[in-house]
Amino acid sequence: MLCVLVGIVQLKHVAGGDAVFNIDQRSSTPIYLQLVQVIKEAILKGILQPGDKLPSVRELSVQLTINPNTIQKSYQELERQKVIETLRGKGTFVTMHYQPSKDEDKLNLLKENLKNLLVEAHYLGLTRDTTIHLVRQLLDELKTREENS
């Protein structure tokens, strides 16, 4: 499990992928929150599943070269959000009945991006109807692609 988690973090780090899931010290998001996102994302994608054991603070600290107190803080935050739970003497596990709630931050970001695109569409001279049509068309396209695969 440790390997998987470290893998995700490091891979994304190297690829410079989605900023939200990257441990990026240049980001304005504090590292502990970035780590919270990484773990939630891993659960969302099924890489971590309810009941899975998480690496200890010490292991993760050394693997990621991140201050153990920061890792501790992330775990506390995740515990507060009931994403993970600590069983005394056994370790930290993903909560059995964890249901990923809609991620508000992500939704906001999506809205923001969409808005920017709409502004651009406006300046390209697209009418309201054309824009809506375009969105419908793209959604259909995605749907057929998903069915094919």
Partner 1 sequence: MIKVEQLTKTYHTNPVLDNINLQVPRGSIFGLVGPNGAGKTTLIKLIMGILLPDQGRVYIDGVNVHQNPGIKSRVGYVSDYQNYYPNFRVQDMIRLYRETYTNWDAQRFAELAQVFKLPEGKKIKHLSKGMRAQLAILLNLSVSPAVLVLDEPTSGLDPVLRRQLLNIFLEEVARNETTIFLSTHNLNELERICDRIGIIHNGRVLFDESLEQMKQQIRKIQVAFAGEPPEGVLEQSTILKVERQGRVYTIVVRENVNQLMAELEKYRPLLLESVDMSLEDIFIYRMGGMGYGFEQIFTQ
| DSSP assignments along 29-44, one per residue | S-HHHHHHHHHHHHHH
Q: What is the x/- site pattern for partner 1, positions 25-44, by CB under 8 A? A: xxxxxxxx------------
Choice from 4, 11, 44, 119 touching partner 1 (CB under 8 A)? 119
| Minimum gap (Å) between residue 40 Cβ and partner 1 | 19
From 55-63, 74-82, 86-94, 96-104, give the range in contact with partner 1 by CB under 8 A.
55-63
Q: Identify whether the C-beta of residue 23 lies closer than 8 Å to the C-beta of residue 31.
A: yes
For the chain, count helices (H), then strands (E). 6, 3
Whose structure tokens read 């980001």? 27
Nearer to partner 1, 64 or 83 (CB): 64
AA identity, residue 103:
D
Nearer to partner 1, 59 or 95 (CB): 59
Pairing between β-strand 84-87 and β-strand 91-94 as defined by DSSP bridges: antiparallel
Residue 10 backbone zone (phi > 0: left; psi -120 to 50: alpha; other: beta): alpha
Nearer to partner 1, 58 or 128 (CB): 58
Per CB under 8 A, contacts with partner 1 among 58-117 are 58, 61-62, 64-70, 112, 116
Q: Which residues bind partner 1 (CB under 8 A)?
A: 19, 23, 25-32, 57-58, 61-62, 64-70, 112, 116, 119
